[in-house]
Structure 1
Amino acid sequence: MTTEDKREVIYRHSGAVRATHWVNVIALLVLLMSGLQIFNAHPALYLGAKSNFDDPVMAMRPMKHGDELFGITTIAGWNIDTTNLFGVAYDEAGDYEIRGFPWSVTLPGHRDLATGRRWHFFFAWLFVINGLIYLIYSLISGHLRKDLAPSGSELKHIGASIWEHIRLKFPQGDEAKRYNVLQKLAYLIVALVLLPLMLATGLAMSPGMDAGYPFLLEIFGGRQSARTIHFIAASGIVLFVVVHIVMVLITGVWNNLRSMITGRYAIKLPEGQS
């Protein structure tokens, strides 16, 4: 038997984990794209209760230099030329369109703010309900404590884990049967920090919730601050998803997909282990 043949198939993900994972995939994709649709209605972020057009935290807007119009993205006072990407886009005929993100990455489509909001709110509640189901399952089954909570010894070796990932050296054998410390920390940051922040700021910006519970906006320092925090939290989740997809591609697309469809995951055994 060759080294390549030395593999062990384990049952890695339960049915509940797999089901909630795929609901999250759909919900997050629609939330992101409909969220960009909403953002494009006014592609700028501020701090405080009101919009300060002269001092945005971030903005995608047109700026004229001479006779030419450029798309400029402003981040904390720094101006970056993002023509044809953010701010202003030209077509082949030379005509331009002023917008934030490209309409191709928004749902439901070109300048449909009302429908975008309805989609966003519907899938936000789907995402919340799905998250509560996952949380209840994790607490009852012990998944949160056994699989996601890092131990003290794992935290002490976080530097070594980072170095191994930089070298694209991934766990084998028994170590591959459980999440590594970086995975655990990433999942916990998303689940316990970014997602609650996104949910809380989203509720704070809802007119119905704002009318009944005005203190929500006060907690975040005003509507515009809540919108900015919501955008930052969403960006953090997008970054997590991008890294997650890259790791899936690097460590084996079919093996990772199979584990999230059937629950079964093949781990490579170190040489000399059978």
Structure 2
Amino acid sequence: MESVVVSQSTVGPDTAAPKDATLIYRQSRWTRLTHWLWAISLFFMLLSGLQIFNARPQLYIGKESGFAYNNTIFAIGAENTANGPRGYTEIFGKRFDTTGVLGWSGPAGRETSRAFPSWATIPSYYDLGTARVVHFFFAWILTTTLVVWLVASLINGHLRRDLAPRIDDLRRLPRDITDHARLKFHHRREYNTLQKIAYGGVMFVLLPLMIITGLAMSPSMNAV
């Protein structure tokens, strides 16, 4: 981490920092760069992923799926009613009216049947091919920068020094949970136990799982 001296008084380039200056620790430039790339990639992956989901807005449970099976656990769609077309979201057989947001949305007089509205997808119009191109482009950016960050963090000791929970961290876990529940935060240079667990869970569980499951959509991977 880098340290930055901040003070309310003006400090010139040739002036030493005052004794009452506040010392603020922040991440290195490389860490900030990779994290911003991840944030941008996840943004485009989310919106293009919603467009891909619009192609068939249903989730199933079991090894088989299709029109001949009745194992849908989540679905977004539209239906004709006495009051006109209505959008709905169905979860485990329970149907909710979501007209205007999910299932049936659009400008007044030009509504269309689509799972997620145009303002929440990339591209805004229905184009599965473009959505897949955008999705996989940013997925590879995410994957590449994640691997580079992991290798660099192993080399410079960032993982061992800042992220790996220690015995003392686990002992402080109940207190950290209590302090966070009471909105009592301790701002220190090192990560607290909950931060380490959350960081590790995202970096080494959720992101790799998202990448591996996402590769199932790639014809070059699932054709093997």
TM-score (norm 2): 0.82
CA deviation profile, 1:163-213 (whole Å, cap 9, x unmatched): 3223322114xxx1111212111111111111111111111221111122x
**Is residue 169 of structure 1 aligned with residue 184 of structure 2?**
yes
Separation in 1 of the partners of 2:40 and 2:106? 32
Note the C-alpha offset of 1:67: 4.1
Q: Is the Cα contact below 8 Å between 2:76 and 2:115 reproduced in 1?
A: yes
**Is residue 35 of structure 1 aligned with residue 57 of structure 2?**
no
Question: How is 1:1-274 mapped onto 2 (pairs within 5 angstroms)?
Answer: 8-53=22-67, 54-89=70-105, 91-93=107-109, 95-172=110-187, 176-212=188-224
Q: Is the Cα contact below 8 Å between 2:54 and 2:114 reproduced in 1?
A: yes
Note the C-alpha offset of 1:59: 1.0
The code of the aligned residue for 2:84 comes to E
Aligned-residue CA RMSD in angstroms?
A: 2.2
Unpaired runs of 5+ residues, structure 1, are 213-274
The code of the aligned residue for 1:132 comes to V
Unpaired runs of 5+ residues, structure 2, are 1-6, 9-19
User: Higher helix proportion, which one?
Assistant: 1
Number of residue pairs the alignment of both structures matches:
205
Separation in 2 of the partners of 1:16 and 1:108? 31
CA deviation profile, 1:50-106 (whole Å, cap 9, x unmatched): 42453312111113444433222122233222221111126433x531111121121
SS at match of 1:157: helix
Q: Is the Cα contact below 8 Å between 1:16 and 1:137 reproduced in 2?
A: no
Separation in 2 of the partners of 1:90 and 1:210? 35
TM-score (norm 1): 0.68
Note the C-alpha offset of 1:49: 4.2
Structure whose alpha-carbon radius of gyration is higher:
2
Greater shift, 135-144 or 7-16, is seen at 7-16
Residue aligning to 1:272:
none
Separation in 1 of the partners of 2:23 and 2:211? 37
Which structure's relative contact order is higher, taking Cα pairs within 8 Å and 6+ residues apart? 1
SS at match of 2:220: helix
